[in-house]
Structure 1
Amino acid sequence: MKKIATLVLVSVLGGAITLGTYKTFLEEEQTIAQQEEKVQPFFQPVNYTASNSNLGAIEGINFTNAAEKTLDAVVHVKNITITTAQPSMRDLMLGRVPQRKQLGTGSGVIISPDGYIITNNHVIDSSEKLSVTLNDNRTLEATIVGTDPKTDIALLKVESDEALPYTTFGDSDTAKIGEWVLAVGNPFNLTSTVTAGIISAKSRDLSGESSQSFIQTDAAVNPGNSGGALVNINGELIGINTAITSQTGSYIGYSFAVPSNIAKKVVQDIMEFGNVQNGILGVRGGSLNSSAAEKLGVGETEGFYVDDVDEDTGADAAGLKSGDIIKKVDNIEIRKFSDLRGYLDTKRPNDKVTVYYLRNGVQQQAEVTLLKNNTLTIPNIGIIKDAKPKDLRKYKVKKGVKITAISGGYAQYLSQEGIQAGDIITKVNGVEVNSVEDVKEIIKNKDPYHPLAIELINSNGQNLKYAFR
Structure 2
Amino acid sequence: MPAAMPAPIPRRAFGTLALAALLVRARTADARTGPESFSPLVKRVMPTVVNIAVTETVASNDAFSALPPELQRQFRDRFRQRRQQVMGAGSGYIIDPSGYIVTNNHVVGSADKIVVGLSDGTELPARLIGADELTDVALIKVSPPTPLPAASWGDSRVLEVGDWVLAAGNPFGLAGSVTVGIVSARGRDIGAGLFDDFIQIDAPINPGNSGGPLFNMDGQVVGMNTAILSPSGASAGVGFAIPSELVSKIVAELREKGRIDRGWLGVSVQDVPASGRSPAGVGIAAVDRAGPAARAGLRAGDVVTGLNGQGVESARSLIRGVAMTPPGNTVHLAVRRQGKDIDLPVTVGRRPKIEEN
TM-score band by shorter chain is: 0.5 to 0.7
- Determine the C-alpha separation between the residues in 2 that align with 1:205 and 1:224: 22
Instruction: Kindly report which structure 2 residues correspond to 1:76-225, keeping only aligned pairs within 5 A, or say none.
Output: 76-85=51-60, 97-207=81-191, 210-225=194-209
Residue 226 of structure 2 is aligned with which of 233, 238, 242?
242
Q: 5+ unaligned residues in a row in structure 2: which ranges?
A: 1-28, 65-70, 285-291, 332-344
| CA drift at 1:211 | 4.2
Instruction: Find the counterpart in structure 1 of residue 4 from structure 2.
Output: none
Identical aligned residues as a percent: 34
- Determine the C-alpha separation between the residues in 2 that align with 1:375 and 1:274: 16
Residue 57 of structure 1 is aligned with which of 26, 31, 36?
31
Q: CA RMSD in A?
A: 4.6
- Indicate whether 1:75 and 2:50 are aligned: yes
| Residues 1:122 and 1:277: Cα distance change in structure 2 (over 3 Å) | same
The alignment partner of 1:56 has SS state of coil
Contact 1:279 1:370 in 2 (8 A): no
The TM-score, its normalising length taken from structure 1, stands at 0.52
| CA drift at 1:273 | 1.7
Instruction: Find the counterpart in structure 2 of residue 269 from structure 1.
Output: 253
Q: Greater CA radius of gyration, 1 or 2? A: 1
| CA drift at 1:170 | 1.4
- Determine the C-alpha separation between the residues in 2 that align with 1:253 and 1:135: 26
| CA drift at 1:307 | 3.1
Contact 1:183 1:229 in 2 (8 A): yes
| Residues 1:245 and 1:344: Cα distance change in structure 2 (over 3 Å) | farther
Instruction: Find the counterpart in structure 2 of residue 361 from structure 1.
Output: none
- Determine the C-alpha separation between the residues in 2 that align with 1:284 and 1:177: 37
Instruction: Find the counterpart in structure 1 of residue 26 from structure 2.
Output: none
| CA drift at 1:228 | 0.3
| CA drift at 1:276 | 0.9
The TM-score, its normalising length taken from structure 2, stands at 0.66
| CA drift at 1:105 | 0.5
Moved more, 60-69 or 167-176: 60-69
| CA drift at 1:97 | 2.4
| CA drift at 1:175 | 2.0
Contact 2:135 2:193 in 1 (8 A): no
Contact 2:156 2:223 in 1 (8 A): yes
| CA drift at 1:202 | 2.1
- Determine the C-alpha separation between the residues in 2 that align with 1:192 and 1:163: 20
- Determine the C-alpha separation between the residues in 2 that align with 1:215 and 1:236: 15
| CA drift at 1:126 | 2.3
Name the one with the larger helix percent. 1
- Determine the C-alpha separation between the residues in 2 that align with 1:377 and 1:189: 32
| Residues 1:84 and 1:323: Cα distance change in structure 2 (over 3 Å) | closer
| Residues 1:125 and 1:160: Cα distance change in structure 2 (over 3 Å) | same
Tell me which of the two structures has the higher relative contact order, counting C-alpha pairs closer than 8 angstroms and 6 or more residues apart.
2
What number of residue pairs does the alignment pair up?
296
- Determine the C-alpha separation between the residues in 1 that align with 2:177 and 2:246: 24
